[in-house]
Structure 1
Amino acid sequence: MEAAVERHPVDEVPRPARLVPLGAQHVLVMYASTVAVPFIVAAGLGLPARDVVYLVAADLLLCGVGTLLQSLGIWRIGARLPLVIGAAYNGVVPMVLIGSQHGLPVMYGSVLVAGLFMVAFSPVFGRLLRFFPPVVVGTTITLIGITLVPAGARLVFGGKPGEPGFGALPGVGLGLLTLLVVVLLYRFLPAPLGQLAILLAMALVTLAAVVTGQADFGAVGHGPLVQAPEPFHFGLPAIDPVACLSLVVIQFVLMVETAGQVTAVGEAVDRPAGPREIGAALRADGLITALGGVVQSFVYITFTQNIGVVTLTRVRSRYVTAAAGVMLILLSLFPVFGRVVAAVPEPVLGGATLAMFATVAVIGVRMLAAVPRDTPNLVIVAVSLAVGLIPMALPGAYGALPAGARLFLDGGVAAGTVTALLLNLLFHHLPSRRRERVGEGSS
């Protein structure tokens, strides 16, 4: 009689009494980050509250479908590891720029093309990883975090200087209080609850805003109880080559991040991830991003913070994250959750996102801290940051250039990333005549 084959912990199915709360924990950890992106993009594009409700529902739906793909897998799509997919902050700045300058159809055409590009490119991406060392990826992530901070600040301060209500003390007070509560919760809550600090801070300060009359949830009960997001909500996608290029550049960085995250979770669950798993994970991220152009939401990536949950809890089952995916899909069918998000005061969300966006920049800085501090790397980082930060330091600097060039350069992140890539090629991949001469003299 053959002995029963022992099942790997990744493939174990916990009993429902454990599966449901463990899956809910993943949803809670990612929820604040998930709903922040719809709010920031809607605010950047000046969309009304009803569109925020739609964007939240569409985002939850694709997060759920993507999480199921990564956890369970279909054919060669999905890593079959405990991974969660969410909207990527990296895509916020270029999406808002494209949408502001060219309209929503072009923005979603770019999202669709960027997703299809990731799917098509996933088989050969491993060969290009050497062109995306930490000095390039760290520079890009640092730029993303820095350029996102003003978006959170505008929510706290009520827009830009000169606009009605800018800097009103009640709003600024709510935003700074949210930031303070986030810090205090991180400091004093136990580690598992500390991961929910941002979500809890938003809930507590929003409650205070309701008590003081600065928030109104009266509209939450109005509207349909059940409604599924529909395709092409904002119209059929349109293609603009330059707009697509801006997001495709960001996709390269997202692919590097996903490769690192899949490797990290493979190590955490004792099932090493190789090129096959990384390629499958990239296809899942790309497919969900492409669907983001159809259902019309955002750019997607495998989430980092949920890998922390797996590491801390030591619960390695991919069926736990699959349960989280099912919960996200169910949440997407109830527009009331989107209406709740739309009713959260902007300064509260701004205070929370300031912390999240600054954390993105810190992650990039930590990555750069591990890079050798030689002259070539210093030049790569310095020049790339300078190019990427020009649009934020001097708005309108590229106003005299053609529209296509402005779209690419005004984002900062795309221009800085391309600069880092080219400088990395120049310093680390092209042959150096000086090195060759030194080698000849010493032979």
Structure 2
Amino acid sequence: MKQQDVSAPKAAVLGLQHLLAMYSGSVLVPILIGTALHFSSEQMTYLVSIDIFMCGLATALQVFANKFFGIGLPVVLGCAVQAVTPLIAIGQKFDIQTMYGAIIAAGLFVFLISGLFAKLRRLFPPLVTGTLITVIGLSLIPVAFQNLGGGNTAAKDYGSMANLAVGAFTVLLILAFNVWGRGFIRSIAILIGMVGGSVLAGLMGMISFQPVIEASWFHVPTPFYFGVPHFEWSSILTMILISLVSMVESTGVFFALGDVVGRKIESQDLKKGYRAEGLAVLLGGIFNTFPYTTFSQNVGLVQLSGIKTRKPVMFSALFLVLLGLLPKIGALATIIPNPVLGGAMLVMFGMVAVQGIRMLQQVDFHNDKNLLVSAISIGLGLGVTVQPDIVQFLPKTLQLLFSSGILLASISAVGLNLLFNAKKPQPELDEQDGLNETDQKEGRP
């Protein structure tokens, strides 16, 4: 499509479209983590609001590029779903302050190694990355089912017909809009499913609007809202490994967008793009939110609209910042019932696993070494996910490392690939297929 400029009103509408396409995938991350760590309604409202605010700030860092950071492409940033399980594990085994300390350290790490990552990303060929993404998706499915039943397995209504009906309706709605929806409507199928499921739950008396009523109209983001961060080595290592995977995925998005807008992506562009992401993660830790990464479904919106300038995404960043300053908007996301979340999660996390399998199609599995790398890593990752108590007698810090299926699969896949394929390196990610290979970050169907 021919690149064209757009008026401010039209760019604003297109910016709103970008916002809606990424909103549900990003807001779901703080909801999942806050629910798992038993945050109060007031804390959840802050968490969602500041997350929305930081999505806008993180996007602005990439879009408003300068000579130090920012890739200057129409990219939108949001929370990465692959960070959910490791962050919950850190928060449960240590505390919230340790979780944010690990995020801050990971952001600083990404910022500092941005210039060297062109070499480091060779550690993550499709064999490794595809295996990790498959484990991420499969390990999150039990979380989806727990929420589908009602969230708390000890509750009297866990698995009730009402919970299952609401969850099933959410899934069917998402499927319907994915199958019969077109363009923009299809891109927000998850959001439509969650809204529709919440409406049904509301009609069944399953929603309380008290958190919205109690939330203030305006607030200012507060650094270290949950306390002074603690720094613990195994937690930091966990988040650094997750950040490396996110950097590999973002590389694919950068190349895909460069192809769409007709711009050749140089190593200097990648370096500034990585720096912006590292800075976004660092600020996320300081303001007590989560790691931020490039969202790929917005690349599809750039293709569909044919508007390849940065102006719509600039408006999107502005809208996100403004919404993040209004806690009542954030509180709306916190009243979504667990069965609705479970239905949306079932679709998204299942697609994450399938996306990993798609990435593994690039791998030559006639080579038994590649087969062993993937098989052992997936087995280890799922094994400790299902039976985390197997490491209960290890020291606390080692428990975190070896009870995380995603982290254990990462260590196994990278280590075994280096061991078996050191003399015959695997091909790197196919840059032309970057968009397809990165959709899993947001769990996009």
Question: Secondary structure at 2:168's aligned position in 1?
Answer: helix
Task: Confirm or deny: 8 A CA contact 2:77 2:292 kept in the other structure.
Answer: yes
Q: Deviations over 1:186-241 (max 9, x none)?
A: 11112321111111111112112222212222442333111122111100101001
Task: Confirm or deny: 8 A CA contact 2:2 2:306 kept in the other structure.
Answer: no
Partner of 2:434: none
Aligned pairs (5 A) from 1:13-412 = 13-159=5-151, 161-373=153-365, 374-412=367-405
Partner of 2:407: 414
Question: Secondary structure at 2:6's aligned position in 1?
Answer: coil
Give % identity. Answer: 33
Deviates more, 1:349-358 or 1:261-270: 349-358
Task: Confirm or deny: 8 A CA contact 1:143 1:385 kept in the other structure.
Answer: yes
Question: Secondary structure at 1:301's aligned position in 2?
Answer: strand
Task: Confirm or deny: 8 A CA contact 1:118 1:251 kept in the other structure.
Answer: yes
CA shift for structure 1 position 34? 1.3
Partner of 2:433: none
Q: 2:305 corresponds to which letter in structure 1? A: T
CA shift for structure 1 position 142? 1.0
Task: Confirm or deny: 8 A CA contact 1:139 1:385 kept in the other structure.
Answer: yes
Gaps of 5+ in 2: 426-445
CA shift for structure 1 position 179? 0.6
Question: Secondary structure at 1:302's aligned position in 2?
Answer: strand
The two structures have a TM-score, normalised by structure 2, of 0.92
Q: 2:373 corresponds to which letter in structure 1? A: I
Task: Confirm or deny: 8 A CA contact 1:10 1:318 kept in the other structure.
Answer: no
User: Using a 3 Å threshold, how does the CA distance of structure 1 residues 264 and 105 change in structure 2: closer, same or farther?
Assistant: same
User: Using a 3 Å threshold, how does the CA distance of structure 1 residues 152 and 11 change in structure 2: closer, same or farther?
Assistant: same
Deviates more, 1:403-412 or 1:168-177: 168-177
Question: Secondary structure at 1:296's aligned position in 2?
Answer: coil
Partner of 1:5: none
Task: Confirm or deny: 8 A CA contact 1:384 1:419 kept in the other structure.
Answer: yes
User: Using a 3 Å threshold, how does the CA distance of structure 1 residues 84 and 10 change in structure 2: closer, same or farther?
Assistant: farther
Q: What is the aligned residue count?
A: 424
Task: Confirm or deny: 8 A CA contact 1:10 1:81 kept in the other structure.
Answer: no
Q: 1:377 corresponds to which letter in structure 2? A: N
User: Using a 3 Å threshold, how does the CA distance of structure 1 residues 403 and 79 change in structure 2: closer, same or farther?
Assistant: same
Task: Confirm or deny: 8 A CA contact 1:143 1:413 kept in the other structure.
Answer: yes
Deviates more, 1:125-134 or 1:30-39: 125-134
Q: 1:254 corresponds to which letter in structure 2? A: S
CA shift for structure 1 position 275? 1.2
Question: Secondary structure at 2:151's aligned position in 1?
Answer: coil
Q: 2:102 corresponds to which letter in structure 1? A: S
Q: 1:420 corresponds to which letter in structure 2? A: A
Give me the whole-angstrom Cα distance separating, in 2, the residues matched to 1:426 and 1:242.
23
Give me the whole-angstrom Cα distance separating, in 2, the residues matched to 1:402 and 1:235.
25
User: Using a 3 Å threshold, how does the CA distance of structure 1 residues 431 and 70 change in structure 2: closer, same or farther?
Assistant: closer
Q: Deviations over 1:341-378 (max 9, x none)?
A: 11111211221122112211111110001211121111
CA shift for structure 1 position 386? 0.9
Question: Secondary structure at 1:47's aligned position in 2?
Answer: coil
CA shift for structure 1 position 164? 4.1
**Cα root mean square deviation, aligned:** 1.7
Give me the whole-angstrom Cα distance separating, in 2, the residues matched to 1:35 and 1:409.
28
The runs of 4+ residues in structure 1 deviating greater than 6 Å are: 9-12
Give me the whole-angstrom Cα distance separating, in 1, the residues matched to 2:152 and 2:372.
33
Gaps of 5+ in 1: 1-8, 433-443
The two structures have a TM-score, normalised by structure 1, of 0.92
User: Using a 3 Å threshold, how does the CA distance of structure 1 residues 180 and 431 change in structure 2: closer, same or farther?
Assistant: closer
Higher Cα Rg, which structure:
1
